[in-house]
Amino acid sequence: MPKKKDEAAGAKKVKSMPTCDWRHPKQGTVSGFNTNKIYRHKGGCRWSGVGTERYKLQDGGWSSIARNVLIGKSGESATFHLRYFEIAPKGFSSREKHRHVHVVICIRGKGRILIGDRSHTIKHLDTVYLAPNTIHQFSNPHDEPFGFFCIVNAKRDKPKLVK
């Protein structure tokens, strides 16, 4: 039980009550990093405070695809990154493989995913798990944008292009 202020000087201090609120040990040490954030959806699969980037820094093997990093670019301590990719009509991602896994959730339109040598259509809220070292490629043969969330490990290997 906590001591009252008017109790005699020299009385033992009472430890604070335990709490179920967890705080990151480095919280608050770097301004703006690892803090709670809400990215408001603005419509059209765009979020406030989240910029649209090139799919990859180097050209080649892909066309008409954009990337938005929602979680993983602002110093979060999450062990995963959440990205949103959008492929314009007739666009496609690179054909690649890597050691890390992907979880993909279609949230806009529909598209195709090549897994190994088999092609599959995915549509709204279809969810795909891509195991390590699986050759894969996303494409949009349709007339409307194809958008999906992609969840990957924060620490991951660089994809290897496959011909």
| Whether the Cβ atoms of residue 88 and residue 145 lie closer than 8 Å to each other | yes
**What residues have CB less than 8 Å from 44, skipping those under 6 apart?**
none
**Active-site residue (options: 20, 45, 106, 150):** 150
- Cα separation, 129 vs 44, in Å, equals 25
CA neighbor of 136 nearest in space, from 93, 103, 105: 93
Backbone angles phi, psi at 57, to 5 degrees: -70, -35
Could you confirm whether 106 is annotated as catalytic?
A: no
d(CA 34, CA 28): 8
As annotated, the active-site residues are 150
